[in-house]
Amino acid sequence: MKTDPQTRIEELRKLIKEHDYNYFVLAQPTISDYQYDQLFTELVQLEKQFPNLITPDSPTQRVGSDITNEFKPVQHKIPMLSLSNSYSEEELIAFDRRVRESLPENESVEYVCELKIDGVSVSLRYVNGILETGATRGDGTTGEEITNNIKTIRTIPLSIKPKQKFNVSDLEVRGEIYMELDQFNKLNEERELNGEKTFANPRNSTAGTIKLLDPKQVARRPLKSFTYYLFSELEELTSHLSNLELLKELGFCVNENYRLCKSIDQVINFCKEWEDKRDKLPYEIDGVVVKVNSLRHQKILGSIAKSPRWAIAFKFKAKQARTKLHKITWQVGRTGTLTPVAELEPVFLAGSTISRATLHNFDEINRKDIREGDWVIIEKGGDVIPKVVSVDIENRTPGLKAVIPPTKCPVCHSKLSQPENEVAIYCENYSCLAQVKGRITHFASRGAMDIVGLGDSLINLFVDLGYLKSYADIYDLKDNKDELIKIERLGEKSISNLLNAIEESKKRPFEKVLFALGIRYVGAGAAKKLAEHFLSIDNLIKAKIEEIEEVSEIGPSISNSIKRFFSDYHNTQIIDRLKKVGLTFALEKRNKISEKLKDKTFVLTGTLSSMSREDAKEKIISNGGVVVSSVSKNTDFVVVGETPGSKFDKAQKLGIKIISEEEFLDMIGNK
């Protein structure tokens, strides 16, 4: 008797899922690739015939056909906290002491040590056993949904293996997505052959891949995953070790190199062992994660604003290599800063071949006595740009001359200057092409105006051809469309896409626009604080230095830089042009939730346990209060957390009212 389609489809799905688990998770395939392909092809054909029988967890749904134009924000039910770092045995011993002092006396403490995979954190939510949402860590509170991309990763199950007495109606699994070294090198070779920019390291390639808009492209990249934590209100686990074992039983890929340690000495031995063995792994690790094993103990220890008290990361020392420094060249940044760069004999280090390394500034060259022709030690850790850490003086060739700082800009040959009390040397020519290109690149970057398609190569080309002299000119490119489409390797389609992306960038909020302007020392975080405080660019331009410094965490270097920027005619002229093309230079004034703290001025100091400083600031502002960065006689309250700084002492001297975190929450009725 012929099997009915639904029964055969269910049978095929079960078989394919088992073979996927054997191949991708256990690395123990039980059938040939050809046999697997036959099963998969049969399933695809049956689902085409009977599309009403397709389910979200079918193996055929690992590569979605829809292209997402943007990633939706996802609020994490439980914050994805970052870990505190340690770099020595002493710091691990101090962590162990803090743990024991915080737990009931005479209770033994065990730790689980796991390898710290150098990848990208991910949250996976399953509802009724089916993968519903995959999200990035984001800022720890809110991530971005990347479900369609997550589905392409074969080590992540689309549905969970049922387990006796375990209810899978709603649970969250956390893990790390990564790329193995040989696959990373192969990907970079392909990109180089295609004339594309290569990735700096496997972590960068992973982060770039999971944020691609087309899941089909993600499926072509060899991503894998390890999971390390499970949250479920319906399952009572007693230890982190049992958590890991349960994850394996449910069909997740768990890194096998974990160990239960009965003492901190065993933890230290594990860390030493893997620091020596890390190069033998097929993937990159940058340390060891140490977790208190008992979940009851974890609950007692709790968390501070940004990290759990029951876990710590032991970071390995950065990898080093010895090579020859042939020459020192000078790069000009967007603010005119000259940075010395060491041109090196190429050497393989931490997953990539290094031929250049930063020397930071001329003072650094002097301090380390670095000379052209020296043998040097370079270092690269994680995403850190390679740097020269020391010179092999004993093997220096006699007669090498000390480096002399440049007197003229290497790009435009203009006069250089060095402000008093600064180590940096600057090119004073605002029209220097290197600065122009740098400012435009920053303006168009993802964290700023996010103009898709306007990368380094195109910016360099448009500046060299005279189409861009400032970032305001970006919005005039549409007037030159007919000329631009005639440029070799561009064409009408790519130019149309670029012009659409430029038009789309006009929707960016004020804080992004403010950051995009490229004011020295004003990063993305400072831009957000300034935008929320002053509400418009006009208010910020008119503000006095002392008013700017009243914004939380904004000090003299930022306030003086802001005033210098807006006093420059070039900059105000560009802002006027950007206003005319429709960029956003103001925020709508927020409605106050209440006036409980009306006209009251607060200073925050120390680490708060139930919220971050930003959260506390938000609560104060939304209740009508004001947050300033320094204590003065005009301060009404100083909110004190753990390990307060000098602000606490100053408040005591001035007789300012000091309140605890709990008292502050009582004031706003939010305890």
Q: Which of 17, 116, 291, 380 is catalytic?
A: 116
Judging by DSSP bridges, how do beta strands 319-332 and 375-380 pair with one another? Answer: antiparallel
CA–CA distance, 418 with 188 (Å, rounded to integer): 40
Buried b (16+ CB within 10 A) or exposed e, 59-92: bbbbbbeeebeebeebebeebbbebeebeeeeeb
pLDDT value of position 414: 93
In a 13 Å sphere around the CA of 641, the CA atoms on its Cβ side amount to: 15
Residue 669: CB atoms within 10 Å: 9
Q: What tens digit of pLDDT does each residue of 454-510 get?
A: 988 899 999 999 999 999 999 999 999 999 999 888 888 889 999 999 999 999 999
Q: Which helix (H) or strand (E) holds 390?
A: strand 387-391
Apex 136 CA angle, 133 and 139, nearest 5: 130
CA–CA distance, 301 with 305 (Å, rounded to integer): 13
What does the DSSP assignment read for 398-467?
TTPPPP---SB-TTT--BEE--TT---EEE--TT-HHHHHHHHHHHHSTTTT--TT--HHHHHHHHHTTS
CA–CA distance, 287 with 273 (Å, rounded to integer): 11
Check: CB of residue 154 under 8 Å from CB of residue 202: no
Give me 241's structure tokens. Answer: 């070790």
CA–CA distance, 469 with 462 (Å, rounded to integer): 9
**319-395 is a CATH 2.40.50.140 domain:** yes
Give me 512's structure tokens. Answer: 């992004």
**What's the CATH class of domain 430-507?**
mainly alpha
pLDDT value of position 659: 92
CA–CA distance, 261 with 278 (Å, rounded to integer): 19
Give CATH 3.40.50.10190 domain extents, the chain: 601-667
Check: CB of residue 257 under 8 Å from CB of residue 115: yes
What does the DSSP assignment read for 86-113?
E-SHHHHHHHHHHHHHHS-TT----EEE
> Helical H runs in 323-397?
362-368
Residue 567: CB atoms within 10 Å: 10
CA–CA distance, 482 with 472 (Å, rounded to integer): 20
pLDDT value of position 68: 39
Q: Name the CATH superfamily for 510-580.
A: 5' to 3' exonuclease, C-terminal subdomain (1.10.150.20)
Three-state DSSP class for 518?
coil
Residue 31: CB atoms within 10 Å: 15
Give CATH 1.10.150.20 domain extents, the chain: 430-507, 510-580
CA–CA distance, 252 with 615 (Å, rounded to integer): 35
pLDDT value of position 30: 76
CA–CA distance, 282 with 255 (Å, rounded to integer): 12
- The helix, strand and coil proportions of the chain, stated in percent and rounded to the nearest 5, come to 40, 20, 40
pLDDT value of position 424: 87
Check: CB of residue 322 under 8 Å from CB of residue 411: no
**86-315 is a CATH 3.40.630.40 domain:** no
The burial of 131, by beta-carbon neighbours within 10 Å (0-12 exposed, 13-18 middle, 19 or more buried), is given as buried
Q: Which residue has the tokens 């390291």?
A: 201
Distances in Å between the Cα of 635 and the Cα atoms of 137, 632, 638 are 36, 5, 8
Q: Which residue has the tokens 């410094």?
A: 549
Buried b (16+ CB within 10 A) or exposed e, 255-293: bebbbebeebeebbebbeebbeebeeeebbbbbbbbbbb
Q: Name the CATH superfamily for 601-667.
A: BRCT domain (3.40.50.10190)
Q: Name the CATH superfamily for 5-62.
A: Helix hairpin bin (1.10.287.610)
Is 224 a residue of the active site? no
CA–CA distance, 47 with 42 (Å, rounded to integer): 9
In a 13 Å sphere around the CA of 668, the CA atoms on its Cβ side amount to: 25
For residue 319, the cross-strand partners are 380
Three-state DSSP class for 138?
coil
Single-letter code of the amino acid located at 226: F
Residue 569: CB atoms within 10 Å: 7
pTM for the predicted model, two decimal places? 0.55
* Mean pLDDT, the chain cut into blocks of 10 residues (671 residues total): 75 82 65 72 83 79 48 84 88 95 92 95 90 87 87 90 63 94 86 70 85 80 92 75 91 95 97 91 93 95 84 89 95 91 89 84 92 92 72 93 94 90 86 93 90 90 94 95 89 91 94 93 87 91 90 84 92 95 83 71 84 78 78 88 81 90 85 53
How many angstroms separate the first and last alpha carbons of the chain? Answer: 68
Give CATH 3.30.470.30 domain extents, the chain: 86-315
CA–CA distance, 107 with 150 (Å, rounded to integer): 41
E strand map for 183-318 = 223-231, 259-261, 285-292, 311-315
CA–CA distance, 577 with 572 (Å, rounded to integer): 9
CA–CA distance, 495 with 187 (Å, rounded to integer): 28
Check: CB of residue 338 under 8 Å from CB of residue 307: no
